[in-house]
Structure 1
Amino acid sequence: MQLGINTLPQELIDAIIDENQDDQAALRACSLVARPWTYSSQRHIFSRVHFRNHSQCYYPGKLYRTSCEINRFHNLISTRPHLASFVRTLEVEPILDAAQEQLLACTLQKLVNLECISLDLGGYYWDELSQCMRDALITTIRSPRITNLELREGLFLRCADFLALLGACEHLKRLSLSAMSCDDLEEFVQADAAVTLPSGLNLQLDSLALSLYEQSYLPLMHRLLQLQPSMDLSHLHRLSVLTAGSGHLSERIEATKEILKLNSNSLQHLVLNVCLGGKSAY
């Protein structure tokens, strides 16, 4: 007696789908096989969502991608609410359209199981985003489920605003900063005022990834180290430090050694492109 595709045990179906979780084409094909395959396939298909659009237009002299894709996704989760619960990671780019910003805010409220938010500023300043979009992002970051924050390709006018954004993520465990900087970063590092995160938070990171240009790396690394104990960087399991540029080499080496010493007993994974010199085992 031959067994039909619909009679396979659910455990076997789930195992097949899990094995293909990184193959979007395979997942979409699986979702169309039969009802028992649909739910598990959708769980992977919608686990990571990226709000972007390939159409482009100009805004105050800058090229950016509009986010009309938000419309389609919002309509989808409005008709099939269970799909919103599958989203674990969200990647979002700047939205400079009032209607789209409002739609983003409504959409974010529905992503109740979101764990990671990745913001690609695309070369914009945080202050260039509308108040509506900033409020929507900060509200989302405040969720107790958000433990992973990625910030890429952007700038802050004030380091205090950068720290306020970090401080909004009260349960932060994994932080990734790529090509980020603050205009007043060096001034802030040299300030004598107490260095803490807002609201007296005490964060303990287990993963830190920095991919920065040399002019940002030193002051930003010093700034993060100054945040202790508000942000504990001494129990990292994963550390990635990638810097570009050939200046301030000795200072970069010392800053990198400092964070390595803090985590000499906890590090399990290390990615590094800073030559430490000497007979270091790192």
Structure 2
Amino acid sequence: MQPSTGLPQELLDKIIDGLHDEPDALKPCALASRLLLERSQSHLFFTIRIHYPKASSRLLEVLKNNRRICQYIRELIVRKDESGLHDPDLIHVIRMLASLESLAIHGDDIKWNRLFSKEMTDTLVHLVRQPSVTTLRISNGHLVPFDFLAVHKHLSSLQLRSSILAFSRMQVPLVSEMTTDSWN
């Protein structure tokens, strides 16, 4: 039996939606009632930032314990530097993200193959090819594999900042037209 507040669920959802950018307010809401839990989690997990391996390990445990949370993650921001080069849990996390819309990768002026293993690169390329991913941002990446850009029609926004591409001998489809966002 669902607990009752006397308020319609639509109104409760609107209240939680009003708190979408206030995680300190959403956390108690998620704990207060099952009527508020899912909507609160959808905002709490909308954007995930991973800056070091422990973050991906903790996230993996959360996702394994509650698979529903995977559907709430729409934006993934990965910041890599030499201190977090080996991060096998991140591969598992990425493979669980079927609803992701935006991927941002921030390097630390380090060559791509030093930041990411071949398995991680393949996992990221597979992710970028998913139709749900419409935004890709890469910054401070050196020798970024061209596979990331080997054209995905579903991408509506592509941002490259301070990055150098690495071209391989792969077959690249012909691009007849490409538009980019403004370079502010």
Are 1:138 and 1:168, in contact at CA under 8 Å, matched by a contact in 2?
no
Report the aligned-residue RMSD: 2.3
Q: Secondary structure at the match of 2:139?
A: strand
Shift of 1:141: 0.9
TM-score normalised by length of structure 1: 0.57
In structure 1, how many angstroms separate the alpha carbons of the residues matched to 2:131 and 2:42?
21
Structure 2: stretches of 5+ with no match in the other structure: none
Instruction: Please show how residues 190-269 of structure 1 align to structure 2 within 5 Å.
Output: 198-200=172-174, 202=175, 229=176, 231-233=177-179, 239-242=181-184
For CA contacts below 8 A with separation 6 or more, give which structure has more relative contact order: 2
In structure 1, how many angstroms separate the alpha carbons of the residues matched to 2:22 and 2:160?
27
Structure 1: stretches of 5+ with no match in the other structure: 53-65, 185-196, 203-228, 243-282
Say whether residues 1:15 and 2:14 are aligned partners. Answer: yes
In structure 1, how many angstroms separate the alpha carbons of the residues matched to 2:164 and 2:97?
29
Q: Tell me the equivalent position of 2:55.
A: 69
Are 1:156 and 1:182, in contact at CA under 8 Å, matched by a contact in 2?
yes
In structure 1, how many angstroms separate the alpha carbons of the residues matched to 2:62 and 2:162?
34
| Structure (1 or 2) with the larger CA radius of gyration | 1
Are 2:102 and 2:133, in contact at CA under 8 Å, matched by a contact in 1?
yes
2:113 to 116, 127, 145: 127
Over 3 Å counting, the alpha-carbon distance change for 1:169 and 1:124 in structure 2 is: farther
Say whether residues 1:139 and 2:81 are aligned partners. Answer: no
1:113 to 95, 99, 102: 99
In structure 2, how many angstroms separate the alpha carbons of the residues matched to 1:68 and 1:198?
37
Percent identity, aligned pairs only, is 26
Are 1:126 and 1:155, in contact at CA under 8 Å, matched by a contact in 2?
yes
